[in-house]
Amino acid sequence: MRLQAGEISNSDKSQIEITAEQFELNAQSAKSAAAQARVALEVLLGVPHPNGGCELSDRLETLCVTTTPLNTNSVGTWRPDVIAAEAVLRKVEADLRVQKANRIPDPKVLAQYEHEPPDAPNTVGFGVSFPVPLWNRNRGNILAAEAAREQGRLAFEKAKAEAVADIAVSRLAYEDALKRWRSYRDSIRPKSEQIRHTMAYAYQKGGASLLDLLVAERNDNDIRLASAQAASDIASAGAAFKAATQEIQPSQVKQ
């Protein structure tokens, strides 16, 4: 209508159409990426014929609001990898104690009874054998067991450190994503939407140029995308934290 009235040029009309087509292409690309993500999810869930038709029971906005507080006191000592490393350490320590105990050979007690009638009388004999370890103190096996114990201790300490690091990194990522999403939700996005409405109204009344309107629309679109990305980061970081602390639970997905 403004073009027919002579208030805007064909160039302005083309810029509006180009922007609209660009937004439409972005929306189609986002739909395609979402379909691919659903197919990947169905593959992980073992769906026989993945086609992207699964429906998620929780929306992104709901996950951001209902995310349970993270257990910041978790240290990951109950993680399977840490428990396995601790079990290996206990085993090699027990092996070392066995090798040290083998430095002193075990004594042997002998008992004998012979019955050979009629040529020889019955005989009974007793004996004790106690080897004296003068040159063999089982030193080689003890050193090998000590080396294995040291390796087991280092592996156990490494597993604990990696568990603590995983938890700390995932917790920091979650807290950072939560702060960004709250900032977008409470401050940045409302202001951006208000600016877009103001510029659209001013453009309709002739008080703003087309360039100002397009810039406001692009900025608002970028802000909404960044807000959605921050919400996605919250869900991902929360899942990563639960995985690091072995508290993750299967997602509720219905076919």
Q: Is the pLDDT assigned to residue 48 strictly greater than 60?
A: yes
The separation between the first and the last C-alpha atoms of the chain, rounded to the nearest angstrom, is 47
- The mean-pLDDT minimum among 40-44, 116-120, 198-202 falls in 116-120
Q: Residue 146: its pLDDT value, please? A: 92
Distances (CA, A) of 126 to 80, 109, 155, 240: 54, 8, 51, 70
What pLDDT digit, counting tens, does each position of 230-254 carry? Answer: 888 888 888 888 887 765 444 443 4
- Name the phi and psi angles at 59, rounded to 5: -90, 165
The CATH number of the domain covering residues in 57-254: 1.20.1600.10
Q: Is the pLDDT assigned to residue 154 strictly greater than 90?
A: yes
Q: Is the pLDDT assigned to residue 62 strictly greater than 80?
A: no
pTM, rounded to two decimals: 0.59
What's the mean pLDDT when you consider all of the chain? 82
What pLDDT digit, counting tens, does each position of 187-206 carry? Answer: 999 999 999 999 999 988 87
How sure is the predictor about 155, in pLDDT bands with cuts at 50, 70 and 90? very high
| Residue 63 neighbours by CB distance under 10 Å | 17
45, 37 Cβ separation under 8 angstroms? no
Q: Which residues pair with 129 in a beta bridge?
A: 108
What pLDDT digit, counting tens, does each position of 1-15 carry? Answer: 777 877 778 888 888
Ordered by start, the domain boundaries in the chain are 10-56, 57-254
| Residue 202 neighbours by CB distance under 10 Å | 15
Q: Is the pLDDT assigned to residue 210 strictly greater than 80?
A: no
Q: Is the pLDDT assigned to residue 255 strictly greater than 50?
A: no
Q: Residue 190: its pLDDT value, please? A: 92
